[in-house]
Amino acid sequence: MKKYLKIILPILLVVIGIVAWYGYSEYNRGHEDVSKQKADITINAPDLTKAFSEDEDAANALYLDKAIAVSGTIKSVDKDESGNYTIQLAGESELSNVSCQMDERHNNEAANLHTGEKITVKGTCTGVLMDVVLIRCAVDK
């Protein structure tokens, strides 16, 4: 029995170490920079909000979890208490907009934007709450 423990115990410790290292590295892995991705879909903000207001299920099938380049007019640029920016692009109506939560690597781009400017923002669509939501966004140049 002691002979088996001398063989199995070191192997078991190595396996546990490898699993722990893998779990730690996956947990701390950052997101891919969306500005370096090619957009799956290019659309303007009013058309995107209209698609979600007309048929949310169909819009989810088309846009959910995809890299989208959205063009539109800036309705507002907001900075939260942790220093992250959210850009609101005007949608088809006053009540429906595209909310673009900037990737922290691209906050400096958002800091220089102003209401009324026309821009294109690239991000990942997560669906609709009151507004269509894009996360990890970057200003597309």
Using one digit for the tens of pLDDT, what is the confidence trace for 50-62? 999 999 999 999 9
Give the pLDDT confidence of 61-78 residue by residue, as tens digits.
999 999 999 999 999 999
Domain ranges of the chain: 1-30, 34-139
The CATH architecture of the domain made up of 34-139 is Beta Barrel (2.40)
C-alpha closest to that of 70 among 97, 32, 103: 97
C-alpha closest to that of 113 among 82, 81, 89: 89
Angstrom distance (rounded) from CA 6 to CA 47 = 67
Dihedral (Cα; 103, 37, 123, 40), 10-degree rounding: -170
